[in-house]
Chains A and B, each alone.
Chain A
């Protein structure tokens, strides 16, 4: 009996560790950790894919195919009746593309009387040659009758073909360049008179219906005006508002309302600011549509909350001992703030301002509503002239069908991103350099 009970009793050996599922729990721990890493990598991989895809599409836009042509400024073409002294319009209206076409025919050894061959030359050289040669002749009429080597832009399709973006294995009828044009292209390349040159036009031209003469120059000037207006208006107003809220405001209803308002405005969709601009600045106050001034005002209102929030944080970070010391030496409250607190908060304020400006520079939606979607080929001379902005120009090119515009668009995005990157890096450097921990 005792034996039996003994048998049933547990053997007195060291108790096994209670199974608390450690293995399972550690696996869960590793899994969880892996999810975290995976999440971060997804974000970063996507960033990389996006940037690579844009750079891949856009870097070729910084090179533009040009042809060196011996242009003969033939008086018979430019001014057949020899009356350019009495009527300066003759030089403006002359048929310059013919000059380029003849020069090209000469380069390729085509007889000018060979009609079908001459017709095939059409589109080989950009139509922008008209403006280019006109400007040369108007600037210096003594060119007429002489021959000069000029680099002219190739047409958009030739440019694409030259960069190898057009698949030449496709049947001739289904691609935009003919076999003949490809042969000429190779001939010119072998002669060394056709090559890709750095595309300065991308930075100087305005809107154009021809991709090869379209650029972001005008849009950059428009964006620059707007940034100037934002800086001139939003920085002082934002800093003044923050000083009031942080240093002077009594704790009352009004202050509360202002604070809630600012926090809400920071989260209002940007397109709503566009509607505000349209209704108030254009419709009610009668400011001109598509003007950089209106765009600047709208972006100012949009940027103000960002600047105010950053400035308040910078002011709050200045330790109270600075204030007490100044007040103790007999400075007034205003003197304390303007002579002591504000200078110490400057790096933080500048950082916030730059980040706000960078956001305003990339903003598109509100500008669409106030008429910045406009075909603007001329540089605006004042902020009241019709102008466009860099992101809006990108948006307009996104709606173009031709692939050469996609290239331009990606190039413009690269330019925009470089600007933004420069601003953000400046902000980071400022913060690292001047930030003080009290």
Chain B
């Protein structure tokens, strides 16, 4: 019986406890003593006592028992795994794990007289719709059966313990109903802890991102030197056959970083002037009526998924520019269908609403008095904007541009579709170049073997990307916040 059923049972016990406790508390109300808490608080307190400890136990127990079972399998492997055709232990471990999962699907009769060779077992599993890797070995079958037995026994014990704990909690909750019992305070304390736990998820996510990527990156650096990665100028990750170590390939970050920055630069060249001018017009000139139409339209531009921009660049704009350049020179096109310019331009269009909405907020935050002072001295509106409003808003605008740049660097779908996959160093914006995000996608799609440098490099790229964007975001948020405080 999987653990989820125990969870459902525990919750049902909790609901029963809730109903009973509320009824009891309601009966007490008719007594003379004034109650501290309303009856439903007694009910909820009993519910929490019955469910929370039991569910925590189930979670901890499941994690613990799965680690224990894996250890057991691992302990039984060595003498046989060494001389088998399977080189790596982790592969053997995962094969046994998958076999054990598959055996769970068989009925009791087949399990009782299980064939000892995998050749005979395979068709029976196939009947149940389970396909297993052909390199599963015969010796793994008893280990898998044993692992299943241990696992089931552990699960059973844990489940029963959880049920007992739940019943005990419910009983305690129901027994402790007194007129002066502070059930409401108890419930509220639990609620508050729950709220705190929810907000900790944000921290957990960050820790998860950093740890998981650091972990894989260290793996990667054990086969490729960090110097070769950060300062290498050649990107050529040959996809080697599983297990072969002689052709590691070269993993130079420089061409990818250069492509990323080049495309982001072109995108900013498009987005910043247009976005900024739109924001200025919207904040300073536009009538409320125009504003109420144009602003949602620009937001619409921001709401379009980036894949749509990517497709537009790939299917429409790229071929159009190529044909246009061919017509201009009357022969061979000098703009390739996938090029830095196409990707950067489309990305720039995508970023216009980002720049404009961020700067709009910042420009409107500049105090009215500054404008009035300038206008009162006889400056025209554009002079006021250029000489007073924009300089006053400058720190905020710099922050906004930094945030936009970090979006541009981390953008994926547009460059995957429009920038090309050739990792090279070039200054010609009409040729294809590739970016960090494109390579992360390339290295991780398709069939992958997890422990090869070819896939692990994606995590090294990912943490580089994360570090760069994080730095930009922190600086940008700091500047923006500082700026806001200045005028508040």
Contact = CB atoms under 8 A, between A and B. Distances in A.
A22 B420 CA distance: 52
Interface string B294-311: 101110110111111111
Interface in B293-336: 294, 296-298, 300-301, 303-312, 314-316
A240 interface: yes
A265 B205 contact: yes
A280 B208 contact: yes
Nearest to A249: B199
Contacts of A241: 195, 198-199, 201-202
A263 interface: yes
Interface in B450-488: 450, 458-459, 462, 465-466, 469-470, 473-474, 477
B227 interface: no
Nearest to B101: A286
Nearest to B200: A258
A329 interface: no
B301 A33 contact: no
Contacts of B300: 47, 424
Interface residues of A, number: 88
Contacts of B477: 260, 263-264, 267
Contacts of A409: 311, 315
Given A269-B437, A416-B305, A262 B202 contact: yes
Nearest to B298: A43
Interface stretch (B139-147, B173-181, B378-386, B424-432): B378-386
A332 B335 CA distance: 68
Contacts of B275: 39
A359 B477 CA distance: 22
A257 interface: yes
Nearest to A35: B277
Contacts of A413: 308, 311
A368 interface: yes
Interface in A380-417: 391, 394-395, 398, 406, 409-410, 413, 416-417
Contact of A304 (B205, B308, B469): B205
A365 B309 CA distance: 13
Interface residues of B, number: 88
Binding site secondary structure of chain B: helix
Interface string A60-81: 0000000000000000000000
Contacts of A237: 198, 201
Nearest to B192: A248
A122 to B, nearest CB: 30
Nearest to A22: B380
Contacts of A268: 209, 410, 466, 469-470, 473
Contacts of A265: 202, 205-206
Nearest to A239: B198
A36 B277 contact: yes
A188 interface: no
Given A267-B473, A304-B201, A272 B462 contact: yes
B282 interface: yes
B445 A368 contact: yes
A279 B466 contact: no
A7 B126 CA distance: 118
Interface string A303-339: 0110010000000000000000000000011100000
A364 interface: yes
Interface in A252-308: 257-258, 260-265, 267-276, 278-280, 283-284, 286, 301, 304-305, 308
B206 A240 contact: no
A270 B410 contact: yes
6 contacts: A32-B386, A54-B312, A244-B199, A273-B209, A358-B303, A365-B413
List the 4 shortest-distance A-B pairs measured between CB atoms, nearest first.
Answer: A269-B410, A362-B305, A36-B281, A39-B277
Interface of B: 97, 184, 188, 191-192, 194-196, 198-203, 205-206, 208-209, 212-213, 215-216, 273-278, 280-282, 285, 294, 296-298, 300-301, 303-312, 314-316, 349, 352-353, 356, 380-383, 385-386, 403, 406-407, 409-413, 416-417, 437, 440-441, 444-446, 450, 458-459, 462, 465-466, 469-470, 473-474, 477
